[in-house]
Amino acid sequence: MRLEQLSGLIAFLKVAETRSFTRAAAELGVSSPSLSEAVKGLETRLGVRLLNRTTRSVGLTEAGAVYLERVRPATEEIQAAAAALMDMKDRPAGTLRLSLPWIAGPLLVEPLMAQFLSLYPDVKLDLVFDDGFTDLAAGCFDAGVRIGELLEKDMVAVRLGGPLKTAIVASPAYLAVNGTPARPADLGEHRCIAYRFGSTRALAAWEFVEDGRDIAYAPEPSMSANTMPLAVEAAIQNIGLAFVVERLAAQHLKSGALVKVLESYCPAFEPFHIYYPSRRLTPPKLKVFVDFARRRCRGLEE
């Protein structure tokens, strides 16, 4: 169906409903002559007369009545769809599909998801975890979350919380047997628990700042996994040293199950950012999630 045929269909339906070109034109906000031309164009393309016109009245032809009976249900569906969209335009509802890195699960999603869904019961969360950058449009995502803000220029990036402090952690029992490293160079003498990216299978480098220089250590791991909470648990079980985001180990550091080493060398990662394609016509479900996450993440920084 071509665009001009659709406009002719709308004109025909409104005239059939009001039985008047004048009233139909007024309701559609167009002139009577342009409305008449739209209907004539539709009749010409269909090859049949749909309306009988006189100076005093407008009525359906037999063909027009048949056509109206067939197209009216579809038109009502279109109108119902438009009404539903108008309702969603101002009300947070529907499925919010997000692409996130694995680390965002325990640090961002788990602390926020129950309260968010309680506040917005008409919103459903569809969370897909992948450490690679995701094409939001191709994956039908509403937004993505990543560490840092090095994103495509056409993306809107909103910071969530503060920098993510890193730490090298180990159990006191492991250190009692194997000693405590004094410098990053000493790590070669220790068992290491490494994080492995699920998408590329590459091991994540351990990043340090030494003498004002950024250095990266590539561990030869005794164990690797693509989930950092498991690395924390492995360190608790005396398997070795783990390079983690400090907040993941906070409760174990507080209890004494883990201790930090090489603390003065450990930097902080860039904060989480939520990114999405445009500020124009942002759906309410995404807008409320961004606002909610920004507010709540301030309380998760410690």
Give the residue ranges of the chain where pLDDT is below 50.
Answer: 1-4, 302
Q: What is the pLDDT of residues 43-57, one digit of tens each?
A: 888 888 888 887 777
Residues with Cβ within 8 Å of 40's Cβ and at least 6 positions away in sequence, in order, are none
Choose among 123, 122, 126: nearest CA to 109.
126
- Supply the pTM of this predicted model: 0.69
Which domains occur in the chain, in start order? Answer: 3-89 (1.10.10.10), 94-163+270-300 (3.40.190.10), 164-269 (3.40.190.290)
The helix/strand count (H/E) of the chain reads as: 10, 15
Q: Percent of the chain, pLDDT > 70?
A: 89
H or E element at residue 33: helix 32-46
Give helix 62-90 / helix 3-18 axis angle, nearest 10°: 100
The pLDDT of residue 83 is: 62
Q: What is the largest CA-CA distance in the chain?
A: 103
The pLDDT of residue 258 is: 98
Where do we find the tokens 């016109």? 53
Choose among 251, 241, 263: nearest CA to 177.
241
C-alpha–C-alpha distance, residues 15 and 32, integer Å: 11
Q: What is the pLDDT of residues 59-112, one digit of tens each?
A: 888 888 888 888 888 777 776 666 666 656 678 888 999 999 999 999 999 999
The pLDDT of residue 302 is: 45
